[in-house]
Structure 1
Amino acid sequence: MKVAKFPIIIIVICFAFGIVLNQYLQATPLNTLLCSGFCFLLVALTYYFAQKDFLQKNYFGASVLLTTLAIGALTYALHSDRNYDKHYTHFVKDRNVLIVGTISERLKPNAYAEKYYLKIRSLDHRDVFGKILLTVPKKEFPKQLKAGQQLYIHQELKPVPNLRNPYQFDYEGYLEKQQVYHQLYLKPQSFRIASQHYNFDYYVERYQDKLLNSFNIHGFPDATHNIIKALLLGQRQDMDSEINQQYTDAGVIHILAISGLHIAILYAMLLLFLRPLIHLKKGKLIQLLAVLGFLWSFAVLSGLSASVVRSVVMFSFMSLAQYWNKSANMYNAMAVSMLSILLLRPNFLFDVGFQLSYAAVFAIVWLQPLFRNYRFKNNPVLNYCIDLVLISLIAQVGVLPISLYYFHQFPSLFLLANLVVIPLSSFILVYGIFILVLNFVWPSLAILLGKLLAFSIALMNDYIAWIASFDGFTLKEIPFSFPLLLSMYLLIVTAVLYGCQRNYRRLCSILISAFLFQITLLFSVTEHRDTEEFIIFNNKRSTLFLHKTSKEIIAYTNDSLQQDNPNLKAYQRGNFNRQLKILPFQNVAYYKQNAILIVDSLGIYNLEEKPEIVVLTQSPKLNLERLIAVAHPKQIVADGSNYKSCVTRWKATCEKAKIPFHATAEKGFYKIN
């Protein structure tokens, strides 16, 4: 079936391009509204001149697609909080302010702190809106905050830190796409908890806790309980980092994120249980309402994540199509569900889970029919295994470029893992919901039958740990850029088209695509090879400098285990795994005939030649005013290994001497081109 036969797909693609375009242009709602109005006028004119004949007049279709792109940009502008006068970012000040807000959502914590989204309601007694990232240290505040709790905080709002080191995950960019622009690290005596707000967030968390706490009667281990929380309601905040990494290395991390697989299982189970209703008067309507009600309740309780919303919206359209006796074409269902989601939440387009979900589903819908002939008659078990293998392969092909771009690794044993994990996790999901119901209606029976649930989860964890133990089969630190992502998708599409129909034209297209991919790879490698730079990293535990030449990367450090440093690995990967040499650092470095003076914890330095830059590392005890007076540097840099109190003092000294000062803990890495 040709995808091009469905114009709704082309419209959705143009709508998505409009969102991406305005994400970079940041056009205001007024400008995008004027642009959309002009495009609507253009559509009316082209429709008039085309004499209502869409197929014969291409310029009318082009004007429709241009209008769709403009509407996509308008949608993004209307949903961008900073475009409104009452957004808190218009009133942020460089001092302590009184912030009134409510806890919205608990995020994944780290070893030292809990993290939440805080919805701001007031800033210095001014009504505002927006949300910030709130970090709460566990040592000072061991008790978790709850959704709906109102906080009064008197602190200074800090911007989300920018990229700390090159080629690392852009946390600032990620939060910006979630419309989070500032953060707070909660301090003792700077806040108080006020009244509880019984809002939507409160009730969602309350019922989530009620459902999940019902499993406390079983006395499951924490690892088992956390898998139940992830599989049943998508709560992955307390997942053990080691288990999470094992699922990632085995290529089955999607099991822990509620996605189309889970919703499809629930959908099939609902249709099976509700099938007797169709024999009643208006039974089909009752069945439809019951299915939609359950699916959307499940979506709300799971936190309305992008993957859950996408799946629930898609199956909702499929249910409506079946109710109206329409052909529930999957291409149209995907396109309409995507358009519906992006109209309400355009930022979902930048969510990695959203992208992976749609890529996997599209690949399955497009490619699975090509393999229908590879089946055996009267052998359902073998056919099930074949379908499982094919679907796993197809889904992996669909998400491979995105996975390489974001995660830079490829689990080569994913097939072996999925053959066991997918059916086992499906059983755990269905059986877990059954036990969940029993927890409330028959606790004693639930405890008895729950032993099988615990055994199944332990079996799945052990199997995944065994797969992940073959570390050599997980290809890691794979360099992959955005142009490579686009060229690889082009190569995949042309290869599939050639496989469907082998002719000269399609053979040429696949050869051109392969050539384009190789040229893109060669250009990416050459581009990084021809640049030379000196970088001072924001490394907290040790000193790390780096000099990249056209031939190699030279790292200077005082840490003997620096080979495993994630900052250094990310830099080497970003430069397509160039040859790396690690040397102990000296107190003087040279870059393009310029001397760089490095002062470490000993505070000893030699001024035989005038340095252009002075780098302070490991909190040296020195008189900075005297050093400035003698050396006259043009720039002073403090890396991440210094105490915060020292950095504050040095910053004041440099401001007084009118010398540029760069603290990597505040501004990220420092690069000398």
Structure 2
Amino acid sequence: MLILLVALVAGMVIGAWVRVPLWVVIVCAATFYACAFRRDRIGEIALLLAFVMTGVAASLSEFGHDTPPLDEPLTLLLTIDEEPVDRGTWQRSSASVSWYRSNTDSTWHECDRRVIISTDSATQLAVGERIAIYSQLRPLADSTNSYVRLMHSRGYAGRVAIYRSTPLVRVGKAGSLRRASSRLQHWAAERLRASRLEGDQLALCTAIATGKRTTMSAQLREQYTLSGSSHLLAVSGLHVAIVFVVANILLRWLTLLARGSQLLNLAVVAVVWGYAAMTGMAVSVVRTALMFSALQFALASGASYRSGNVLATVAMVMLIVRPSLLGDVSFQLSVVAVAAIIYWAVPFCAQLRTRNGLLNLLTSTVVIGAVCTLATAPLVAYWFGRVAMVGVVLNPLVVLLGYELVVLSVMTIFVPTSWGFVARAAGAIAEAENRCVAVAAEMDWTQFTTDINGWTVVIIYAVAIVITELARRKTRKKSLSLPYV
């Protein structure tokens, strides 16, 4: 399946550069799929070419959506994606643009882009709310090139300011599922606020457990950025991975029951999606939850090649449905991190397995953290333009503390407020996390900027894939499970 994923990606890259009629590509793809039923070398080649044509078709269909023009009056139909973050006299949020209309053209254009929104504190916006505004879309050109490139990869077309004088019409509210998720997120944040947590401790626990960063100070954000640990502040693959592993550990007793393995898989997937709902069901979190749901059932299948096939299949389906994900840094990091866990972390942990369950938990935590950090380092260097080498050493400790912090933060939300010892324990872990990050942020000599290009990243991962395949051929297929017991 990996070679088919590569063929699909190659087709998408070709489709981004070559313009041919879509019907021609569809006819070619259908022809190759028909030839793929042959049980010989020609059939194998035809299948690869069919996936290449599928990638080209998906890429061409993506260009059916227009991009709003910059620096001219537009009517934009927006859906608020994130809860506004208070910046003092103004608020910052993001929204998806579904339709737009220009003054020079009375036609509505379908769109699939995102924008950064700046509003004054008097304008209240809710997650999932749909609004229509009349304003101008400004470019993302007031920051570094790496930042602009990163935002474009996430689908952002520009930024728009909403003032009191900006014409604004509230079109409607979010769907029932999105509203329920938003209410759950708000309730969880209020439960943490009602506990004995305060200051930076409350800010970190709230960010990790609910995805809300409204109470986080600028100084704390900067420290996490300089130490290479900023990924801890935004709910991402790391947080879902922590919930995934902890759920497997705490629910392992289900395997003692009849059909326990099936119950364990279903329960872990339910916990992962429950956590995604509590963090607001952000698009990146939903994608990561899909990845780890696939990983859970892949691990249950028992063989590493099956796990890789499941991961490749999920990635291909997501790319075909939304080809723009190919350039999305969150999608890239999620795929690379999960692949690193399957092909490197789990087999390596299996070699270190002992009869001591606690020692297995500690070693697997450190190994998974280190492997994911190293595996995603080329992407981080390319997209962010800065690498903090201290992060390679710090991240295993950050992940180790993150396990306890996620569990204790979630417990603080659901246990009675009279159980103050849970909140105090979460606060102590959060304080230790913040102190480690603050010390690492002061080590300027471990940070350096880089201007790595895309082809270098491709070559690095191509070499890693070749090494992985050679290593797999030299080893027998082994049972694959999380090595914590």
Q: In which range does the TM-score fall when normalised by the shorter chain? A: 0.7 to 0.9
The counterpart of 1:114, out of the listed 82, 89, 92, is: 92
Which residue of the partner structure matches residue 20 of structure 1?
Answer: 13
Q: CA deviation at 1:104?
A: 3.6
- Partner SS state of residue 116, structure 1: strand
Q: CA deviation at 1:410?
A: 2.9
**2:327 paired with 1:350:** yes
**2:461 paired with 1:468:** no
- Partner SS state of residue 169, structure 1: helix
Q: CA deviation at 1:117?
A: 0.8
Aligned positions, number: 467
Q: CA deviation at 1:426?
A: 0.2
**2:173 paired with 1:197:** yes
The counterpart of 1:145, out of the listed 110, 113, 125, is: 125
Which residue of the partner structure matches residue 444 of structure 1?
Answer: 418
The counterpart of 2:161, out of the listed 185, 192, 195, is: 185
- Partner SS state of residue 190, structure 1: coil
One-letter amino acid matched to 1:197: K
Which residue of the partner structure matches residue 118 of structure 2?
Answer: 136
Which residue of the partner structure matches residue 477 of structure 2?
Answer: none
- Partner SS state of residue 258, structure 1: coil
Report if aligned partners of 1:314, 1:333 keep a CA contact under 8 Å in 2.
no
Report if aligned partners of 1:274, 1:287 keep a CA contact under 8 Å in 2.
yes
- Partner SS state of residue 136, structure 1: strand
Report if aligned partners of 1:151, 1:191 keep a CA contact under 8 Å in 2.
no
- What do residues 162-208 of structure 1 show as CA deviations (whole Å, max 9, x unaligned)? 6568x72362x555555554543223223345465242544432321
Which residue of the partner structure matches residue 543 of structure 1?
Answer: none
Report if aligned partners of 2:85, 2:91 keep a CA contact under 8 Å in 1.
no
- State the distance in 2 between where 1:376 and 1:269 align: 18
The counterpart of 1:73, out of the listed 43, 49, 56, is: 56
- State the distance in 2 between where 1:393 and 1:148 align: 36
- State the distance in 1 between where 2:297 and 2:60 align: 31
Q: CA deviation at 1:394?
A: 3.1
Pairwise CA RMSD: 3.9
Which residue of the partner structure matches residue 139 of structure 2?
Answer: 161
Q: CA deviation at 1:306?
A: 6.1
One-letter amino acid matched to 1:114: R
Q: Within 5 Å, which residues of 2 pair with 1:62-461?
A: 62-78=45-61, 80=62, 83=64, 89=68, 96=73, 101-106=78-83, 113-117=91-95, 119=97, 123=101, 129-130=110-111, 133=115, 135-138=117-120, 141-142=121-122, 144-155=124-135, 157-158=136-137, 160-161=138-139, 163=141, 168-169=145-146, 171=148, 174=150, 176-181=152-157, 183-192=159-168, 194=170, 197-199=173-175, 200-218=177-195, 220-236=197-213, 239-271=216-248, 274=251, 288-305=265-282, 308-320=285-297, 327=303, 329-368=306-345, 371=348, 375=352, 386-438=363-415, 442-445=416-419, 447-461=420-434
- State the distance in 1 between where 2:116 and 2:107 align: 20
Change (3 A) 1:500 1:151: closer
Change (3 A) 1:38 1:150: closer
- Partner SS state of residue 414, structure 1: helix
**2:21 paired with 1:38:** no
Q: CA deviation at 1:284?
A: 6.1
Alignment gaps of 5+ in structure 1: 1-7, 503-673
One-letter amino acid matched to 1:457: A
Change (3 A) 1:118 1:227: same
- State the distance in 2 between where 1:118 and 1:74 align: 24
Q: Within 5 Å, which residues of 2 pair with 1:591-610?
A: none
Change (3 A) 1:416 1:293: closer
Q: CA deviation at 1:11?
A: 0.8
- State the distance in 1 between where 2:240 and 2:299 align: 17
- Partner SS state of residue 479, structure 1: coil
Report if aligned partners of 2:4, 2:51 keep a CA contact under 8 Å in 1.
yes
Report if aligned partners of 1:107, 1:117 keep a CA contact under 8 Å in 2.
no
- What do residues 483-519 of structure 1 show as CA deviations (whole Å, max 9, x unaligned)? 33334445556677888999xxxxxxxxxxxxxxxxx
Change (3 A) 1:178 1:32: farther
Report % sequence identity: 19
- State the distance in 1 between where 2:99 and 2:272 align: 32
Q: CA deviation at 1:401?
A: 2.0
Report if aligned partners of 1:105, 1:201 keep a CA contact under 8 Å in 2.
no
The counterpart of 2:458, out of the listed 475, 478, 486, is: 486
Higher share of residues assigned helix: 2
Q: CA deviation at 1:122?
A: 7.3
- State the distance in 2 between where 1:110 and 1:164 align: 18
Report if aligned partners of 2:343, 2:468 keep a CA contact under 8 Å in 1.
no
- Partner SS state of residue 146, structure 2: coil
Q: Within 5 Å, which residues of 2 pair with 1:478-557?
A: 478-490=450-462
Which residue of the partner structure matches residue 583 of structure 1?
Answer: none
One-letter amino acid matched to 1:146: A
Alignment gaps of 5+ in structure 2: 475-485
Which residue of the partner structure matches residue 482 of structure 2?
Answer: none
Change (3 A) 1:362 1:108: farther
- What do residues 449-508 of structure 1 show as CA deviations (whole Å, max 9, x unaligned)? 31221121011101211122222122x123322233334445556677888999xxxxxx
Which residue of the partner structure matches residue 580 of structure 1?
Answer: none
Change (3 A) 1:62 1:501: closer
- State the distance in 1 between where 2:78 and 2:380 align: 36
Change (3 A) 1:306 1:357: farther
Report if aligned partners of 2:82, 2:95 keep a CA contact under 8 Å in 1.
yes
Change (3 A) 1:320 1:415: closer
TM-score by length of 2: 0.80
